[in-house]
Amino acid sequence: MLQCSGTERGCLARELAQQLGGRLAGDADCRVTGLAPLASATSTDLAFLIDPQRHPEALEQSAAGVVLVPEGADLEPEAGRALIFLQDVYRGYAGASRLFGAGRRARAAGIHPAAVVDDAARVASDAHVGPGAIIGRGSRVGAGAVVEAHCVLGAGVVVGAGSFLHPRVTLLDGVQVGERCILHSGCVIGADGFGFAPGATGDWEKIEQLGAVVIGSDVEIGANTTIDRGALVDTRVGNGVKIDNLVHVAHNVEIGDHTAIAGCVGIAGSARIGAHCAIGGGAGILGHLAIADHVTIHAMTLVTRSIERAGQYASGVPHQEARLWNRMLARLRRMAR
């Protein structure tokens, strides 16, 4: 965790440079108290510039006191300003954001009187349980974990040390969450997968979902995302996975370590996603497919067969005027005939 001398009073440029592993130029004692975009930053703000060649005027027009810039850029700081040169400016900004936002998820230890905790549950002494939260029989909440208001933990749930559950997170029976995870409001982990056996008369018979969901450490799951429990074996999410809002992960899916999944993605049952993959918004992945490590799937792509090699994959038709699209569609139909 980044640290400065008295973050509530701001952070000196030289402290920031040291913490971020950057090279400092300019006013080492310039103090900043927050982050802001270059265009609106003041002398007490930290800002960043990723591409000086593309936006050469941005730095000159900004009043930011400290600016993160790419190593090798031909830039000189103005009087009263500091520049911190970094190999990866965006990762530097990420680190600075964690520094200045360090208190956002700090909560006092203790169980609120309006929480309901089963006698057979175990809650660490330094954990926080908010009002209206329900913790079921045999569940465990680890050291320093936070369970915010109106969360529901079913029976036998495990929440690892340092994890943070925003209000109204639901973890159903048997779900395991690793350490230092962040689960945002409204996500539901461990609901039944979509399992039904068709009958001869056209009816559907429910297949009980007997597995659970196992989530690794350092995972973040967005608001209103759902991850279904396995039918027989567990649905699994690896370490360091980042999942956006409104994603659906069906039963028995496996997601490899450090994969990132953008909003509105749908992953059908028993699909296996490799490690270090990136899946763009609105993509769909059919069931029982395997996707190799280091695969990037562009937004709105429909994956209908397994991907065995690393690389970038895309499908879909970009938008265009309706009249032009209708003419193209008519030609396609004529070609088919």
Two tokens, residue 269: 């049952």
**Among this protein's residues, is 112 annotated catalytic?**
no
Which of 55, 251, 276, 288 is the catalytic position?
Answer: 251
Side-chain-side CA neighbours of residue 279 (13 Å): 34
Buried b (16+ CB within 10 A) or exposed e, 281-314: bbbbbbeebebbebbbbbebbebeeebeeeeebe
The end-to-end CA distance of the chain, in Å, is: 64
Question: Cα dist. 95→86, 145, 184 in Å?
Answer: 12, 22, 21
Spatial separation of the C-alpha atoms in residues 310 and 317, rounded to whole Å: 23
- Residue 317 CB neighbours (<10 A): 9
Active-site positions read 251
